[in-house]
Amino acid sequence: MKTTRHSTARFAICVDNSEYPASLELHKLYRVIPDEDAKKDGDLRIIDESGEDYLYPADYFLLIDMPRGIARALRESFARRVQHAG
């Protein structure tokens, strides 16, 4: 798994969508849902283009750390998107 630091990331950028071009957009920022079992298997639980969370190979993403204020704003934005979709 690629990561910028050794901490739990909440967001990741897609760097490989070769197996899932309809579900993942290359270079797009995705929300990561914590899932220790998936992590042990080398996967990440990602909210993809469908708006649902699915497991994808961790190597398809670059985990990123960001300032708390930016992370909070992104989490709130993702939450609003989910509320409007449902």
Residue ranges per domain, the chain?
2-85
Pick the more confident residue, 2 or 82. 82
Specify the pLDDT at position 82. 64
Q: Please answer whether residues 13 and 28 qualify as being in contact, where contact means their C-beta atoms are separated by less than 8 angstroms.
A: yes
Sign of the four-CA dihedral 7, 10, 15, 20: positive
* Exposure b/e, 43-59, CB count within 10 A at least 16 = b: bbbbbbeeeebbebebe
Least confident interval from 10-19, 20-29, 54-63, 75-84:
75-84
Q: pLDDT at residue 5 above 50?
A: no
**Of the options 2.30.30, 1.20.58, 2.60.120, 1.20.272, the CATH number for the domain spanning 2-85:** 2.30.30
* Phi and psi, residue 53, nearest 5°: -95, 135
Mean per-residue pLDDT of the chain:
85
